[in-house]
Amino acid sequence: MATFPQLRLRRMRRTESLRALVRETRLDVSDLIYPMFVVEGKGIKEEIGSMPGVFRFSPDRLPAEIKEIAGLKIPAVLLFGIPKEKDDTGSSAFQKNGVVQQAIKVMKKTAPSLIVITDVCLCEYTSHGHCGIITNGEVDNDKTLPLLARMALSHVEAGADIAAPSDMMDGRVKVIREALDGKGFQHIPILSYAAKYASAFYGPFREAAESTPQFGDRRGYQMDPPNVREAIREAGQDIEEGADIIMVKPALSYLDVIRQVRNTYDYPLAAYNVSGEYAMVKAAAQQGWLDEKRVVLEILTAIKRAGADIILTYHAKDVARWSKEE
């Protein structure tokens, strides 16, 4: 093996064409999923305070936005619904004419080939803000499962292309798979939030989705941030239950988790660049403290380099615009 002065690693860095030739990781718009918030009502397009550039839309205001997203060649969106009425069991999550169900129909009509993924979780629909039914002050895993299955089925019946459970109940992928198969939806994939941590980086999302728990926190069901072996078991459980794509969330503080899940399973792997990660970059950029475009591309490239195939990110539209400029 050559050593210095014959060996010079700088040789392949000298020009952009040389760097491009040996680049190991490439970020592409086709890797991205854009998360969106839909709210019940009419004529609404309101910006989320802690997430500049991200809006809540009522279903009637979606077509223009969807056309823009499809025009930017972003392949998929992830939908979150914010209903008017919340109750103990989150029953507005599976109404035929619920806010997400309406939004799916508008989206599929506006841009049929845009992949519509729906978040399956009760926290935006329950009055207490937890991701399941409460029994004796705790989130009851087994009582929650049938509601999640009903919710996923209701989204798919409205036209959703992929169901994405994010609640962290044990057994949810299994019951959702059974519910979909039972109604002839064997072809609909499940993207499971397999390793979802109890993270402070969800703060801005909870403002956006009005889903802050009214008591306690989510540490009894979401994962403990110091654990990585447990993430492998979580992903394994979801794969055994029938998940088609597995996800690690958040992304930036969990790059090691992404890498280990990637090294363990040959399944498509997604990572969620969450609301708090977005808000930090936006806030610093607004102050002029860092170069937004370069920082965003560096972060998303790092998530891919760690092993993610797919990235869910609120930066998706910006990335798509930047790639058109080049």
Minimum CB separation of residue 63 from ligand PBG in Å reads 24
**Region binding ligand PBG by CB under 6 A among candidate stretches 58-66, 86-94, 119-127, 285-293:** 119-127
Does 31 bind ligand PBG (CB under 6 A)? Our answer is: no
Question: Which of 249, 282, 304, 317 is an active site residue?
Answer: 249
Does 38 bind ligand PBG (CB under 6 A)? Our answer is: no
List the x/- string, 207-236, binding to ligand PBG by CB under 6 A. -----------x------------------
**Catalytic annotation on 108?**
no
Does 275 bind ligand PBG (CB under 6 A)? Our answer is: yes
Positions 187 through 206 that interact with ligand PBG (CB under 6 A): 202, 205-206
Which residue's CB is nearer to ligand PBG, number 110 or number 206? 206
Which residue's CB is nearer to ligand PBG, number 139 or number 320? 139
Task: By CB under 6 A, name the one of 274, 279, 306, 308 that touches ligand PBG.
Answer: 274
Q: What is the 3-state secondary structure (H, E, C) of the chain?
A: CCCCCCCCHHHHHCCHHHHHHCCCCCCCHHHEEEEEEEECCCCCEEEECCEEEEEEECHHHHHHHHHHHHHCCCCEEEEEEECCCCECCCHHHHCCCCHHHHHHHHHHHHCCCCEEEEEECCCCCECCCCCCCEECCEECHHHHHHHHHHHHHHHHHHCCCEEEECCCCCCHHHHHHHHHHHCCCCCCCEEEEEEEECCHHHHHHHHHHCCCCCCCCCCCCCECCCCCHHHHHHHHHHHHHCCCEEEEECCHHHHHHHHHHHHHCCCCEEEEECHHHHHHHHHHHHCCCCCHHHHHHHHHHHHHHHCCCEEEECCHHHHHHHHHHC
**Catalytic annotation on 249?**
yes
List the x/- string, 144-173, binding to ligand PBG by CB under 6 A. ----------------------x-------
Does 175 bind ligand PBG (CB under 6 A)? Our answer is: no
Minimum CB separation of residue 321 from ligand PBG in Å reads 21
Catalytic residues: 196, 249
